[in-house]
Chain A
Amino acid sequence: MMASRSIVVTIAVGFVILSADGGIAADNERGAQLAAMCASCHRLDGRDKGIPAIVGMDKEKLAEAMAAFKSGARSSSIMHAVALQLSDAETAILAEYLAVQAKESKRQ
């Protein structure tokens, strides 16, 4: 009985970890997919050649910028359209993803 109970506990812990891991993994993959949309114009190696670099951007700043483009407080018809496409949740996932990418490129 002891043995089987400990297996149950182990499996339960496993599922808790799995859902945390799965959530982050899903966000990360979604972040990569959203960033792919950005990559049509913004270089994801962080180099700025006239179109601003977005990797290395603070995630709050990126979210603020997207909100300003969405409301029209910052003017750019292209970024206004992009901002309209993204929900707040998607913008947050994207900002998180781009911030992590920046850390990684600094490490290299």
Chain B
Amino acid sequence: MTWTRRKFGGFAGASLVAALHARPTRSQTKARVVVIGGGIGGATVAKYLATTPTKLDVTLVEPKQKYTTCFFSNLYLAGVRSLESLTHDYQTLTQGYGVNVIHDAAAAIDPIAKIVTLAGGNKLAYDRAVVAPGIAFKYDSIEGYDQAATQTIPHAWNAGPQTELLRLQLEGMEDGGLFIIVAPPNPFRCPPGPYERASLVAYYFKQFKPRAKILILDAKDTFFEQDLFEDGWNRHYPGMIEWLPGQFTGGIKSVDVKTRTIRTAGETFNASVANVIPAQIAGELAQRVGVADQSGWCPIDPMTFESKLLPGIHVVGDATDAGDMPKSAFVANSQAKACAFAIAAALTGSGQSAPHLFNTCFTLLAPNDAVSDAINLKPVAGSIKITDIFFSQIGESDEVRRRAAQQAEAWYAAFTRDVFG
């Protein structure tokens, strides 16, 4: 309200109105929101809370100094984009928006006393907390693939050192080698991601290792935008990429890290380079503090993203079980804004409008051939449902796809600016 009055201060009688409606501020202290996790969801919540007309005391807890985006990291694997260009820091959030960024990990949350305890021992009291822990991997889902195995066979499903390791292995692979991607069961982060990865690694192989092959061993029997991918593979990389559904292989059973051997129910495959993307659940903190249920994901109120399990704690991003919402960076950003506005409304006692929830993803079949989807969603009966969904079509002109690829580049710049300032 202060902001509004300042802006429309020219109205006659505005000061009288202010005097009549001056509410005592809550013991002179700003309401405190602690956001845990500085990925897309967490950073967006922190920024939008800090820019709300209600001045809030916003703290963002994130161990890392910098964040590298998973989205667009397949372009790094293709050799057309640096990892640095996908890496963002928190300086603008701190200096431009006044977010208090603490580089530490959250050890525990006391939902009754409303206190976050950090690994370093500090305690942060909050009026509302937001947990944005991303994903964790179910290492027990494939025999032989544990955390130690990721140093030989990367998952590369969190961007950074894992992505670098995979790129290094792809560079070192002989022409004529076999690159195997193990694709996870639903739900998982970035539904088109494994198939975009196959596309962009094929783009790299086509130039430097034209006799190489890519095999996708999938836990699923179908995948997102499958027709668009298969059409793109036939046009750009004929004969290079093979996809085997779970019903064909009988499922992925075990991995032998030493020999890079992947065993399915019926067959054994030897990879020159392998990339195992395991089944996923909400990030470890969500499990520890009790905002995840038996499914491994976090049930939320679709209007406010407040946990259905622990009141006062909100969850955004990939960790949520948000009905039909896919696990994408765009969704995390969309949820985070709805969550920030809901928290601001709750802390000031003002009304909240129904959130506009939206997803769009640009997916690259080649660096100059992008497709997109656009999804409208809305809260329905305690969950979130798709109301409209649109996809790119097979047979679109090269020009349409080239323009979409340019838009994808422009989107990356605008989107990361929206998140990190």
A64 to chain B, nearest CB (A): 21
Kindly state the separation between the CA atoms of A78 and B415 in the bound complex, as whole angstroms: 15
Decide yes or no: A80 and B390 within 8 Å by CB, A30-B353, A33-B353, A50-B407 being known contacts: yes
| A37 in contact with B358 (CB, 8 Å) | yes
**Which residues of A lie under 8 Å from residue B417 when comparing CB positions?**
43
Question: How many interface residues does B have (CB within 8 Å)?
Answer: 44
Does B26 lie at the interface of the complex (its beta carbon under 8 Å from any beta carbon of A)? no
| B14 in contact with A81 (CB, 8 Å) | no
Decide yes or no: A14 and B16 within 8 Å by CB, A40-B333, A78-B360 being known contacts: yes
Does B148 lie at the interface of the complex (its beta carbon under 8 Å from any beta carbon of A)? no
When C-beta atoms are compared, the residue in chain B nearest to A75 turns out to be B400
| B4 in contact with A25 (CB, 8 Å) | yes
Kindly state the separation between the CA atoms of A86 and B356 in the bound complex, as whole angstroms: 8
| B411 in contact with A41 (CB, 8 Å) | yes
B243 to chain A, nearest CB (A): 26
When C-beta atoms are compared, the residue in chain A nearest to B12 turns out to be A17
Determine the interface band of chain A, counting residues with CB < 8 A from chain B: 20 to 34
| B411 in contact with A11 (CB, 8 Å) | no
| B353 in contact with A21 (CB, 8 Å) | no
| B392 in contact with A36 (CB, 8 Å) | no
| B388 in contact with A28 (CB, 8 Å) | no
When C-beta atoms are compared, the residue in chain B nearest to A80 turns out to be B390
When C-beta atoms are compared, the residue in chain A nearest to B13 turns out to be A17
Decide yes or no: A82 and B358 within 8 Å by CB, A21-B4, A21-B5, A33-B341 being known contacts: yes
**Which residues of B lie under 8 Å from residue A18 when comparing CB positions?**
17, 20-21
Kindly state the separation between the CA atoms of A29 and B345 in the bound complex, as whole angstroms: 11
A97 to chain B, nearest CB (A): 12
When C-beta atoms are compared, the residue in chain A nearest to B415 turns out to be A40
| B376 in contact with A37 (CB, 8 Å) | no
Mark interface residues in B48-76 (1 if CB within 8 Å of A CB, else 0).
10000100000000000000000000000
B:149-165 near A, CB below 8 Å = none
| A42 in contact with B414 (CB, 8 Å) | yes
**In the complex, number of A-B residue pairs with CB atoms less than 8 Å apart:** 103
Does B222 lie at the interface of the complex (its beta carbon under 8 Å from any beta carbon of A)? no
**Which of the residues A17, A39, A51, A80 comes within 8 Å of B17, measured between beta carbons?**
A17
Does A20 lie at the interface of the complex (its beta carbon under 8 Å from any beta carbon of B)? yes
Kindly state the separation between the CA atoms of A77 and B392 in the bound complex, as whole angstroms: 8
Mark interface residues in B1-24 (1 if CB within 8 Å of A CB, else 0).
100110110011110110011000
Does B168 lie at the interface of the complex (its beta carbon under 8 Å from any beta carbon of A)? no
| A85 in contact with B407 (CB, 8 Å) | no
When C-beta atoms are compared, the residue in chain A nearest to B357 turns out to be A85
B399 to chain A, nearest CB (A): 13
**Which residues of B lie under 8 Å from residue A82 when comparing CB positions?**
358, 374
Kindly state the separation between the CA atoms of A80 and B387 in the bound complex, as whole angstroms: 13
**Which of the residues A21, A25, A41, A77 comes within 8 Å of B391, measured between beta carbons?**
A77
A:23-66 near B, CB below 8 Å = 24-25, 28-30, 32-34, 36-37, 39-43, 49-51
| A81 in contact with B17 (CB, 8 Å) | no
- Could you name 8 residue pairs across A and B whose Cβ atoms are closer than 8 Å? A14-B17, A21-B11, A37-B337, A37-B356, A41-B415, A43-B414, A51-B410, A77-B374
Using a CB–CB distance below 8 Å, which chain A residues touch chain B?
10-11, 13-14, 17-18, 20-21, 24-25, 28-30, 32-34, 36-37, 39-43, 49-51, 77-78, 80-82, 84-86
Using a CB–CB distance below 8 Å, which chain B residues touch chain A?
1, 4-5, 7-8, 11-14, 16-17, 20-21, 48, 53, 330, 333-334, 337, 341, 353, 356, 358, 360, 372-376, 387-388, 390-392, 406-407, 409-411, 413-415, 417-418
- Which 9 pairs show the lowest CB-CB distances between chains A and B? A50-B410, A25-B4, A77-B390, A81-B374, A17-B13, A78-B374, A51-B410, A39-B418, A43-B414
